[in-house]
Amino acid sequence: MDTKKDLSYYTQLNYDIIIREQNQLYYLLIPELSLIVESKDLNNGYKKLEEEKKLFFSDMINAKAGNNINEPNPKVIRKGSFSELMLFCIKMFLVFFVCTSLVGIIFIGTLPLANSLVSNIPRRVATSTYAFATKVNTKFANLTDEDQQKLRMQYKSLLHKIKPFIDDTIEVLAEPKSEPLESPEK
């Protein structure tokens, strides 16, 4: 047995601890040492496991079997891990770039369509308004005096109902445009 591998050496080793909870009990296990403790409280369970670990090491050292104590497996970085990580990052960047480009192309591609739809609105409104006025005038001219009077009454009633909306619209349209803020002079 190596002389510097005494109790303090073994108690300083960091073993992975597996924790399981079952039926309101915690089970703490160190697989390399085949140690397990059971506790209702996780902190007490950890303390018990440390005591069991210390007792195990003492017994093994006293039995001159210290060389049979399994030390924790070192965390090893596999060969090629860095290159695999780098490859993953490059792929991730490419996927991000392609997706962003597609979204940009789709968005930019829809701008002319949206622009043409929006720019045609005034023309469509004017055309629809003229067509509506022409239809109303034609129908109104062909009505009897009594039907014209009924239609006027319905129209007045409609105007009274929509007057608040018209007033709000006029108020919004009559608001002066706000002046752009000037940048502070340096």
Does the residue 182 lie in any domain?
no
Q: What is residue 10's predicted lDDT score, i.e. its pLDDT? A: 85
CATH of the domain at 34: 3.30.160
Q: What is residue 103's predicted lDDT score, i.e. its pLDDT? A: 72
Cβ-contact 66, 5 below 8 angstroms: yes
15 and 64 part of one domain: yes
84 and 64 part of one domain: no
Q: What is residue 7's predicted lDDT score, i.e. its pLDDT? A: 83
18 and 57 part of one domain: yes
Does the residue 129 lie in any domain?
no
Closest by CA to 59, choosing from 44, 51, 48, is 51
Q: What is residue 121's predicted lDDT score, i.e. its pLDDT? A: 73
26 and 49 part of one domain: yes
Does the residue 13 lie in any domain?
yes
64 and 11 part of one domain: yes
Q: What is residue 78's predicted lDDT score, i.e. its pLDDT? A: 62
Q: What is the pTM of this model?
A: 0.41
Does the residue 47 lie in any domain?
yes
Does the residue 184 lie in any domain?
no
18 and 56 part of one domain: yes
Does the residue 82 lie in any domain?
yes
Query: Partners of 21 in the beta sheet?
Result: 26
Does the residue 139 lie in any domain?
yes
59 and 85 part of one domain: no
57 and 89 part of one domain: no
Q: What is the C-alpha to C-alpha distance for residues 82 and 148, in angstroms, rounded to an integer?
A: 87
Does the residue 124 lie in any domain?
no
Number of domains forming the structure of the chain: 3
113 and 138 part of one domain: no
Q: What is residue 186's predicted lDDT score, i.e. its pLDDT? A: 46
Domain of 26? Answer: 7-68
Which residue ranges of the chain lie beneath pLDDT 70? 1-3, 75-83, 104-118, 175-186
Q: What is residue 1's predicted lDDT score, i.e. its pLDDT? A: 44
pLDDT tens per residue, range 129-157? 778 778 877 877 787 888 878 877 887 88
Strand ranges of the sheet holding 18-22, from the earlier edge strand across to the other edge: 18-22, 25-30, 35-39
19 and 63 part of one domain: yes
